[in-house]
């Protein structure tokens, strides 16, 4: 819906209500258990714990997750990060309660014999051994959330008054919950219960304040709208930050909140839990694997929103880290809970036969190289991840393996914690207040180094055409696609002797299944979102291949599948070969790297077919899987570099089969220059065209508009010719904020000022009297070309891109970007196709927020107590009148 009373123009409501209520109700559920345990001295157990866990997952996890997703779509950096982070916390805490309820009493565990343990199934061992280390596992998970919750409380103080109290109470609650787990006394439970009651009270009040704000369209209850302190007090924009100004500008020019803080948040929790386990504080990783799985799912969400922001680098990095943590978590689960009773020598031999971690090392090195044009924090973080991936190479002797891994996790956690704070504060302030360091290498220098494989003449501009920009957008998930397949292929590599090792077979399951099936399913979803032709078919098919491979090659020997049972897999392998042959044809329309991948996969599937017939030549399979991994490594590097620099820096090879229909569509040259709204260079390009007297299509908070600079009266006249607009229809002006009007000192009444402050910025346009104040506003020579002789219509869009453009160019004369009498343009492609041959440029921003233009309100007689609706647009007329009546009442 459109904006009212200056609130964001968004289809979504205020998600903070749902997010804070989810926190309050979840805290109330834990409060009841804590007070009951402190009163009776008997901790909750059995069904009571299971039901509490289910409620925590549904309310604190799922409901708060929805609030976080909506917050990201409302461009709310803080709430998006906090709500998804707390959703992972409550979901993990709920899972802990369920595990407690399902586990056996501790006294039973202490009497278990080694013989009994060795005869247990993995599931029985999991539930039986869980009670003993569960307290330590819970503390390992709670400590990082305590630190992160404190950071969220501090950062929220720069936004409003209520959230710091909510998040601060959660921080103290988690602290005393951790104390309660570690000591036998009941006083921490009582203190924790009191703090949880405060969480409930603060959350209810905050939710009521936001709810009343939404209903009354203004702040009625105190707590929102005014921060505890100004975020700018944390620092100043230093010269060192200028090197990454482009990255900061990207955050402003987007419809979605910046997910980098959420990414660093997740990268703080996972290594901290691993740290506790590596140093021996946690003996079983059953519960730790669940905590890391939940936070890794949140990390995949940061990758998803990076994809929505067309940030290919963060899509790949977040997906890579989530894959790594999921894989390592379930590998340690297998080591600590499934094969714990097997001889240590056999386990060590099985571990040393695994080579999948080397692909993580290679990709981490590539990511470090690509990030050299980013800030120092990013480079340091990638360097520590490289160290982390090296520390988990299974060929390292067990004597030093966990110590090396634990130290690496400690360093990585520290960098991630600092990164969370930096990214969150800097995105809230939309400038670099917390230092992140300069670029080690300039973007142009790194691009020239990486383009040594590219023929000269291909690096000619960041956005040469709308078709190439669309192509690069569709390729954003490709790097993650190659990465997941590379990890799966290298992890599936084994010899005839290693296939006889039970430890090796069990350890290989998470390595192939997580990357090849789980995360690749996520990649398939991104490909669907990107709209690439046949984009989701290949990852979806390879998901099935690796899942089947895991089931037959690794789980099959453990389940003792008979030769007769293998015939079903033989039929499946033949089907895979036929389907992949068709995919080779599809890949021929793509690029040479993708075609090579499908061709090698055909050979890999032949090896899979031979294995079902018990005729597998292991040397051939090893060679094919190794070649497949090398192709994936190059594909990941080239895709990542091309998406990062938004240019074809590294070649992927031409398509072997030309798509005639696509050639016919793309052969005509673009009728006008285009620019990407998410890039500072895009805004500057359009602003130059406007300053030079051009007419450009630009996005607004409603539909696309044609814009001309008020410095160029002739350009405003050209708008009439471009649209075939009747001369008697006036054109309005667009400014960035009400403060610009205040500086011009127009002779408006206090009632008109108050009304404007309640409808700007947003989808309402006000008609007011003309005067010399327009000259002070910057209209200048266009005074006679805009509005009528005695009135002018003013727009203040609630759109970040349009606001920044107006700040660069000054007031713009705008009208809807459509031929007169035709429907409004709701996508930049519509502007290009309908008017591109007549205008000088288009600022591309995708789908518009609305499908109709703004509501026009005549305010010429507002001092007489009346307004009139000239045109009803995205804001209903009844809502406009409600705002006016409320403003009039408040002025009495």
pLDDT tens-digit series, residues 19-39: 999 999 999 999 998 898 888
Q: Tokens in use for 167?
A: 């998040």
Tens of pLDDT, residues 469-496: 445 555 678 899 999 999 999 999 887 6
667 Cβ contact partners less than 8 Å away, ≥ 6 residues apart? none
Confidence grade of residue 852 (pLDDT, cut at 50, 70, 90): confident
Has residue 110 got a pLDDT over 50? no
CA distances from 856 to 216, 762, 792, 870, 871 (A): 22, 11, 11, 5, 5
688 Cβ contact partners less than 8 Å away, ≥ 6 residues apart? none
Give the pLDDT score at 398: 78
Tens of pLDDT, residues 308-365: 887 889 999 999 999 999 999 999 998 887 776 677 777 778 788 888 899 999 999 9
Task: Tell me how far apart the alpha carbons of residues 478 and 495 are, in angstroms, rounded to a whole number.
Answer: 30
Has residue 239 got a pLDDT over 50? no
Please state, for a pLDDT cut of 90, what percent of the chain lies above it.
Answer: 44
Confidence grade of residue 578 (pLDDT, cut at 50, 70, 90): very high
Nearest residue to 514 (alpha-carbon basis) of 487, 490, 539, 537: 487
Q: In what order do the strands lie in the sheet with 674-676?
A: 674-676, 841-844, 696-698, 705-709, 812-816, 732-734, 791-795, 764-769, 855-858, 868-871
Across the range 825-849, mean pLDDT stands at 89
Q: Tokens in use for 486?
A: 């590379």
Q: Model's pTM, two decimal places?
A: 0.75
- Range of 57-61, 227-231, 675-679, 821-825 with top mean pLDDT: 57-61
Q: What is the largest CA-CA distance in the chain?
A: 97
Nearest residue to 631 (alpha-carbon basis) of 606, 603, 598, 654: 598
Across the range 299-314, mean pLDDT stands at 90
Across the range 798-810, mean pLDDT stands at 91
90 Cβ contact partners less than 8 Å away, ≥ 6 residues apart? 22, 23, 26, 56, 57, 59, 60, 61, 64
Task: Tell me how far apart the alpha carbons of residues 769 and 792 are, in angstroms, rounded to a whole number.
Answer: 6
What angle (nearest 5°) sits at the alpha carbon of residue 442, between those of residues 438 and 447?
A: 145
Give the pLDDT score at 346: 76
Task: Tell me how far apart the alpha carbons of residues 612 and 787 are, in angstroms, rounded to a whole number.
Answer: 78
Confirm if 327 and 511 have CB atoms less than 8 A apart: yes
Q: Where are the alpha helices (DSSP H) in 589-678?
A: 592-612, 618-645, 660-666
Confirm if 854 and 765 have CB atoms less than 8 A apart: yes
Looking only at the bridges linking them, the beta strands covering 791-795 and 696-698 are unpaired
Give the pLDDT score at 234: 67
Helix (H, G, I), strand (E, B) or coil at 764: strand
Tens of pLDDT, residues 744-755: 899 999 999 999
């Amino acid at each position: 819906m459109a904006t009212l009373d200056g609130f964001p123009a968004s289809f979504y409501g205020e998600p903070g209500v749902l997010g804070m209520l989810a926190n309050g109700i979840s805290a109330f559920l834990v409060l009841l258990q804590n007070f009951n345990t402190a009163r009776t001295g008997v901790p909750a157990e059995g069904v009571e714990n299971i039901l509490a866990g289910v409620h925590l997952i549904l309310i604190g996890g799922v409901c708060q997750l929805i609030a976080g997703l909506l917050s990201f779509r409302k461009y709310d950096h803080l709430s998006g990060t906090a709500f998804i982070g707390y959703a992972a916390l409550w979901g993990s805490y709920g899972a802990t309660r369920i595990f407690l309820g399902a586990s056996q009493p501790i006294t039973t565990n202490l009497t278990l014999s080694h013989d009994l343990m060795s005869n247990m199934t993995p599931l029985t061992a999991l539930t039986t051994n869980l009670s003993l280390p569960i307290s330590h596992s819970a503390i390992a998970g709670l400590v990082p959330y305590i630190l992160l919750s404190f950071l969220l409380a501090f950062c929220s103080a720069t936004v409003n008054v209520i959230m710091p109290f909510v998040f601060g109470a959660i921080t103290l609650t988690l602290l005393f919950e951790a104390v309660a787990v570690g000591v036998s006394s009941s006083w921490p439970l009582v203190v924790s219960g009191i703090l949880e009651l405060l969480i409930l009270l603060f959350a209810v009040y905050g939710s009521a304040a936001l709810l009343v704000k939404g209903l009354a369209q203004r702040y009625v209850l105190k707590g929102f709208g005014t921060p505890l302190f100004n975020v700018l007090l944390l620092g100043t924009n230093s010269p060192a930050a200028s090197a990454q100004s482009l990255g900061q500008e990207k955050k402003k020019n987007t419809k979605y909140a910046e997910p980098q803080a959420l990414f660093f948040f997740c990268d703080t929790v996972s290594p901290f839990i691993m740290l506790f386990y590596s140093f021996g504080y946690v003996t079983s990783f059953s519960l730790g694997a669940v905590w890391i799985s939940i936070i890794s799912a949140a990390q995949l969400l940061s990758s998803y929103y990076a994809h929505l922001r067309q940030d290919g680098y963060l899509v790949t990095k977040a997906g890579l880290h989530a894959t790594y943590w999921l894989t390592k978590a379930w590998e340690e689960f297998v080591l600590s809970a499934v094969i714990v009773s097997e001889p240590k020598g056999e386990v060590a031999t099985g571990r040393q036969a695994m080579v999948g971690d080397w692909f993580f090392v290679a990709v981490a090195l590539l990511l470090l190289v690509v990030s050299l044009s980013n800030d120092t924090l990013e480079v340091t973080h990638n360097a520590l991840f490289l160290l982390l991936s090296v520390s988990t190479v299974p060929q390292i002797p067990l004597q030093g393996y966990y110590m090396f891994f634990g130290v690496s996790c400690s360093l990585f956690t520290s960098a991630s914690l600092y990164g969370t704070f930096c990214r969150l504060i800097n995105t809230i302030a939309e400038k670099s207040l917390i230092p992140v360091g300069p670029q080690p290498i300039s973007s142009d220098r790194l691009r020239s180094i990486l383009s040594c494989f590219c023929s000269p003449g291909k690096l000619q501009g960041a956005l040469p055409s709308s078709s190439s920009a669309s192509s690069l957008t569709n390729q954003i998930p490709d790097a993650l696609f190659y990465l997941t397949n590379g990890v799966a292929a290298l992890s599936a590599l084994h010899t005839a002797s290693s296939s006889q090792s039970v430890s090796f077979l069990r350890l290989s399951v998470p390595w192939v299944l997580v990357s090849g099936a789980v995360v690749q399913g996520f990649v398939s979803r991104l490909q669907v979102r990107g709209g690439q032709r046949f984009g989701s078919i290949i990852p979806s098919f390879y998901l099935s291949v690796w899942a089947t491979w895991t089931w037959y090659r690794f789980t099959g020997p453990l389940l003792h599948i008979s030769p007769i049972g293998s015939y079903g897999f033989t039929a499946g392998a033949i089907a895979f070969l036929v389907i992949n042959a068709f995919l080779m044809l599809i890949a021929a329309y793509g690029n040479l790297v993708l075609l090579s991948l499908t061709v090698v996969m055909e050979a890999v599937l032949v090896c899979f077919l031979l294995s079902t017939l018990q005729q597998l030549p292991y040397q051939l399979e090893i060679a094919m899987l190794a070649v497949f991994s090398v192709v994936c490594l190059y594909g990941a590097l080239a895709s990542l570099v091309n998406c990062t620099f938004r240019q074809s820096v590294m070649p992927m090879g031409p398509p072997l089969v030309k798509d005639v229909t696509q050639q016919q569509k793309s052969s005509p040259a673009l009728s006008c220059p285009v620019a990407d709204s998410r890039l500072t260079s895009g805004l500057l390009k359009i602003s130059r065209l406007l300053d030079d007297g051009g007419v450009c299509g630009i996005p607004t908070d409603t539909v696309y508009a044609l814009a001309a600079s008020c410095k160029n009266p002739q350009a405003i006249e050209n708008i009439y010719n471009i649209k075939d607009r009747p001369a008697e229809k006036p054109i309005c002006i667009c400014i960035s904020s009400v403060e610009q009007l205040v500086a011009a000192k127009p002779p408006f009444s206090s009632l008109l000022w108050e009304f404007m402050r309640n409808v700007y910025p947003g989808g309402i346009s006000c008609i007011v009297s003309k005067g010399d104040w327009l000259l002070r506003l910057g209209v200048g020579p266009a005074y006679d070309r805009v509005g009528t002789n005695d009135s002018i219509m003013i727009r203040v869009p609630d759109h970040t891109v349009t606001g920044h453009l107006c700040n660069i160019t000054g007031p713009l004369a705008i009208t809807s970007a459509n031929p007169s009498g035709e429907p409004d343009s709701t996508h930049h492609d519509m502007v290009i196709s309908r008017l591109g041959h007549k205008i000088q440029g288009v600022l591309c921003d995708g789908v518009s927020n609305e499908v109709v233009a703004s509501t026009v309100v005549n305010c010429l007689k507002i001092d007489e107590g009346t307004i009139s609706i000239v045109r009803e647009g995205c804001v209903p007329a009844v809502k406009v009148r409600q705002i006016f009546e409320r403003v009039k009442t408040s002025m009495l």
